Amino acid sequence: MRLVLERFLLGVVVLFGFFFIVLGVRWLVDPSASAIGLGLAPQAGLGLSSQVGDLSAFFLVTGLSILFALTSGNKLWYYPSVMLLLAAAIGRTIAWLFHGAAFAPLLIAFEIGVGLLLLLASKTLPKQE
Amino acid sequence: MDKPRYLLATILFVACLTKSVFAPAQIGRPNIIFLLADDLGYSDIEPYGSEVNTPSLSMLAEQGIIFTNYHTAANCAPSRAMLLTGVNNHLAGVPNIPETFTPEQRQSKNYQGVLGDNVVTIATLLEDSGYHTYMAGKWHLGSEPNKLPSARGFERTVALMDSGADNWEQRPYLPIYDQANWFSDGERYSLPDDFYSSRFLIDKTIEFIDENLDDGKPFFAYVPFQAVHIPVQAPKENTEKYLGVYDEGWSKLREDRHQKAIDLGLVSPQSGIKTMSWVLDWSALSKETKKYEAKRMAVYAGMIDAMDFNIGRLIKYLRETNQLENTVFIFTSDNGAEGSGASEPNSFLSQGIAGNLGYNTNYETLGEKGSYNSINPGFTSAAVSPLSFYKFYTGEGGMRVPLIISGETLGENIKFSPSFAWATDVARTVLSLAEVEPAGARYRGKAVLPMTGRDLGPVIRGESSRVYSNEDVIGYELTGHSALFKGDYKLVRNQGPLGDGNWALFDIVNDPGETKDLKQNMPDRFQEMLGDYAKFEQDHGVLPPPAGYSQLRQMAINTLKDRLEIPFLVLILSFLVVLPFFVYAKFNKRQ
């Protein structure tokens, strides 16, 4: 049973890793559509530079860290992804509480959920010898 | 008075005199307001025989000149390219809208569907000659940073980049757009909550003019309305004025407008009128369908009514700020009325498309916020009365539209002109009014194409009855639909699905309805004009579409390709990123 659960967790973590990489690459290839997907107005000039640079970095680092964790078996590699996702959830909450941003419960729940899932993976998935 | 005091007094007097000469906009070069309707048919406004109440345009027509034989491109962006540059649209890079090109056509630098860098807009020329230049409305000539109106000579802008959009909110009207792309002064722009297109565009125009009211410089304001492009939407109070007006149907309306055009002297009493074979028989429709169709048309009329009302607000503002007497208005449409509205708007397919975009087509709220409306080919045939065909076709209904040039500075001249006029002439006429020369072979250090449009000034002033001789040739092509104007004659070929693909020859002065094909009676002229057309195609780099081409199908293919291309690229690149990890994991496992 434990083995099945571990394999399931491994599959889910692989999918999330790939998903974040796709999001990161999409920011590099098609920033306008990516911005609209996140409820952002596509920018021009310096705004566009920041959107593409910062957001592609966020998603690529999240995804790559997961893949590094999976291939190296070193649980420390999960932590950058966990920190990024949980910090994003905290940031969204602060934006809602103090800056008049829209409350985004689904996105906050997703970020916390995936962050916790990765923490669980760091504890349970098999380590490299 | 001692010498220094005398000198000072003289300087002050000269300064005051100079200020009084240059400060008020009323003196010197005129302000120019270019009002461009979208998809407005030949007889859609009162001065051209419409029953729609357009007092502001009637007033402008009363004080100006009506061109009864003015022609433009058969669709939007090509027309706008000519109107703003005075250069043929094929040479200016806009043979059609970009979504419609075949892959082969896209290889040509002229077939990009955005305004080329080889042409100069009149806004640039006017700005460089000391005019303020404003734009509020639909641009549709390119949305890359160097193609935006703010990069093409307009000092202040609020502009829609797409072929159309919702009139009540920031929302796309076709599935080819992710969003309605509005820009202001080069930056993305969010529409206000109380947006209604015609009101908003005039508000912005007034705001722009007001900002520089006292600096003494004249202005050029370009106001390309969304009215009456799909989605046809109007404030309820405007629509309600026309409920019941269209209950007798489109055939009666087409006849009435033809008669009115004769009575007004716009067309010859002998002019014929063709029944468009694809138009449904009104009398065969059910009572419910008639009621629905009549309301669709009432909303269309309401949208024109609302546009006119807001033009009236602009005129009132200019009068109150003492600028009206030195302002020249140009009013026209980018092409003829659009007839691609669904014949059965309540069919599953039509409702599915509207529903997919989040719209409804309910009778009760037709034309209001959230409603998707259009007119079908029946009422379009009335909108272009007494002409044949409509938008996208080279029949007169697609190409002959109203043109009014009006202003107190133009003086008391003739009221009607049957002179042939072409879209490029508008640009040249604007420059002439502003006393600005067209660009030479180079402008701002770049080689540019010469303006070919002609100044309509001599006709406006009554000095000449025409600006084109019987030997001058104007050619035009859109996806294989073709036309060539020479003297009183027009060589024309309309492709499918509505046209038969054959050439025909018409005397468009005496037969604007294109009812009598003269090619058998005038074989020499017919052959001569065919030769002229072949030369036009060659000189302008026209690339005819392949056999069996359909604009709608090509647009669907291109949209699908554009939609899938990027996701495919993203997936490939993502796999490439993941690949080293996969290889490493496999390799490690074997070890």
Please provide the DSSP assignment of B213-260 as one string.
Answer: TTS---EEEEEE--TTSSS----HHHHHTTTTTTTT-HHHHHHHHHHH
The nearest alpha carbon in chain A to B582 belongs to A71
- Within 8 A of A43 by CB-CB distance, chain B residues are 188
Locus of tokens 């920041």: A50
Closest CA to B515 of B386, B379, B381, B383: B386
SS3 B110: coil
From the list A18, A30, A43, the residue facing B574 with the nearest CB is A18
Closest CA to B141 of B200, B76, B190, B201: B76
SS3 B454: coil
Give which of A34, A36, A46, A67 to mutate to test B binding, by max B Cβ within 10 Å: A67
Q: How far apart are CA A63 and CA A80, in angstroms?
A: 10
Closest CA to B236 of B355, B358, B345, B369: B369
- The alpha-carbon gap from A104 to the nearest alpha carbon of chain B, in Å, equals 21
3-state helix, strand, coil in chain B (%, to 5): 40, 15, 50
Q: What is the mean pLDDT of residues B393-405?
A: 97
pLDDT at res. B494: 96
Closest CA to B272 of B385, B177, B166: B385
Give which of B162, B569, B577 to mutate to test A binding, by max A Cβ within 10 Å: B577
pTM for this predicted structure: 0.81
Q: How far apart are CA B259 and CA B143, in angstroms?
A: 43
Q: In chain A, how many domains are there?
A: 1
Q: Which residues of B are catalytic?
A: 76, 140
- Within 8 A of A44 by CB-CB distance, chain B residues are 145, 186-188
Q: How far apart are CA B210 and CA B83, in angstroms?
A: 25
pLDDT at res. B20: 38
| Neighbour-count burial for B50-88, b at 16+ CB within 10 Å, e otherwise | bbbbbebbbbbbeebbbbbbbbbbbbbbbbbbbbbbbbb
In a domain, A56, yes or no: yes
pLDDT at res. B4: 53
The nearest alpha carbon in chain B to A72 belongs to B585
Q: How far apart are CA A31 and CA B7, in angstroms?
A: 65
- Please indicate whether, in this complex, the C-beta atoms of B584 and A71 are within 8 angstroms of each other: yes
Classify burial at A97, counting beta carbons within 10 Å of its beta carbon; exposed 0-12, middle 13-18, buried 19 or more.
exposed
- Please indicate whether, in this complex, the C-beta atoms of B190 and A26 are within 8 angstroms of each other: no
Q: How far apart are CA A78 and CA B242, in angstroms?
A: 67
- The alpha-carbon gap from B68 to the nearest alpha carbon of chain A, in Å, equals 44
Whole domain around residue A77: which residue ranges?
2-124
- Within 8 A of B179 by CB-CB distance, chain A residues are 36
Please give the share of chain B, as a percent, with pLDDT higher than 90.
78
Strands B219-224 and B31-37: parallel
Residue A129 has pLDDT above 60, yes or no: no
What is the ipTM for the molecules in this complex? Answer: 0.83
Backbone angles phi, psi at B416, to 5 degrees: -125, 145
Q: Which helix (H) or strand (E) holds B446?
A: strand B446-447
pLDDT at res. B24: 39
pLDDT tens-digit series, residues A82-128: 999 999 999 999 999 999 988 999 999 999 999 999 999 999 876 65
Closest CA to B141 of B98, B204, B189: B98
- Please indicate whether, in this complex, the C-beta atoms of A25 and B577 are within 8 angstroms of each other: yes
- Please indicate whether, in this complex, the C-beta atoms of A33 and B186 are within 8 angstroms of each other: no
Average pLDDT in chain B: 92
Q: Are B166 and B233 in contact (CB under 8 A)?
A: yes
pLDDT tens-digit series, residues B320-331: 999 999 999 999
- The alpha-carbon gap from A93 to the nearest alpha carbon of chain B, in Å, equals 25
From the list B186, B573, B585, the residue facing A29 with the nearest CB is B573
- Please indicate whether, in this complex, the C-beta atoms of B188 and A42 are within 8 angstroms of each other: yes
SS3 B489: strand
Q: What is the mean pLDDT of residues B375-404?
A: 96
Residue B400 has pLDDT above 70, yes or no: yes
Q: What is the mean pLDDT of residues B394-398?
A: 97
What is the Cα A37 distance to its own chain's centre?
15
Residues on A contacting B at a C-beta cutoff of 8 Å? 17-18, 21-22, 25-26, 28-30, 32-33, 36, 41-44, 60, 63-64, 67-68, 70-71, 128
In a domain, A97, yes or no: yes
Q: How far apart are CA B193 and CA B225, in angstroms?
A: 19
Residue B389 has pLDDT above 60, yes or no: yes
Q: Which helix (H) or strand (E) holds B17?
A: helix B3-22
SS3 A71: helix
pLDDT tens-digit series, residues B192-235: 999 999 999 999 999 999 999 989 999 999 999 999 999 999 99
Give which of A10, A16, A18, A128 to mutate to test B binding, by max B Cβ within 10 Å: A18
Alpha helices in A1-129 (DSSP H): 2-29, 31-37, 45-72, 78-98, 105-124
- Please indicate whether, in this complex, the C-beta atoms of A21 and B578 are within 8 angstroms of each other: yes
In a domain, A129, yes or no: no
In a domain, A91, yes or no: yes
- The alpha-carbon gap from A29 to the nearest alpha carbon of chain B, in Å, equals 7
pLDDT at res. B584: 86
